[in-house]
Amino acid sequence: MNQENSMGIGVLSERTGCKVGTIRYYEQIGLLPDPPRSEGGHRIYSLEHLKRLTFIRRGRELGFTLDEIRTLLGLVDGGSYTCGEVKALTLEHLQEIHKKITDLKRLEESLTAIAAECEGGAASKCPIVDALFKSR
């Protein structure tokens, strides 16, 4: 591992912020290609792997599922992807995020309203508990 463009799994992990176990998991599910091995069986990664794993991590940070990332990588690997295809996937994903935000906001609102009823004292009759026993 003395060349600068080749590294073990620990270094790849550090450079991408992706845990060792997770890297092996990505390999197992076919997201990261099987790297060559040393004589003893240790994985040896190249800069290509680093690039690809960075893509995956960044995609995860942006909330894409592994399946969406797989699709995205498939397009990139094909070489003939278009900007339109990628943008469509992204916009679809943005909609999902937006829906989640809306749902959570509604949740926050309901719960805030319920909690506001409650004085939080030592009383053993609580409006929050009452609310939970009632269906909408």
Partner DNA sequence: GCTACAACCTGTAGTCACTACAGGTTCAAG
Partner DNA sequence: CTTGAACCTGTAGTGACTACAGGTTGTAGC
Strand partners, 37: 43
5 binds a copy of itself (CB under 8 A): no
Q: Specify whether the CB–CB gap between 52 and 73 falls below 8 A.
A: yes
43 binds DNA (CB under 7 A): yes
Partner interacting with residue 94 (select from a copy of itself, DNA, none; CB below 5-8 Å by kind): a copy of itself
66 binds a copy of itself (CB under 8 A): no
Segment contacting a copy of itself by CB under 8 A, of 1-9, 25-33, 39-47, 52-60: 52-60
Positions in 10-39 near a copy of itself (CB under 8 A): 16-17
Q: Looking at this protein, which amino acid is placed at residue 70?
A: R
Cα–Cα distance for residue pair 128/44, rounded to 1 Å = 56
For residue 101, the minimal CB distance to DNA (Å) is: 18
* Helix or strand holding residue 136 (H, E): none
Burial class (CB in 10 A: 0-12, 13-18, 19+), 85: middle
Partner interacting with residue 114 (select from a copy of itself, DNA, none; CB below 5-8 Å by kind): a copy of itself
Q: Tell how far CA 15 is from the center of its chain.
A: 17
Residues lying near DNA in the complex (CB under 7 A) are found at 1, 8-11, 13, 19-22, 24-25, 37-43, 60, 65-67
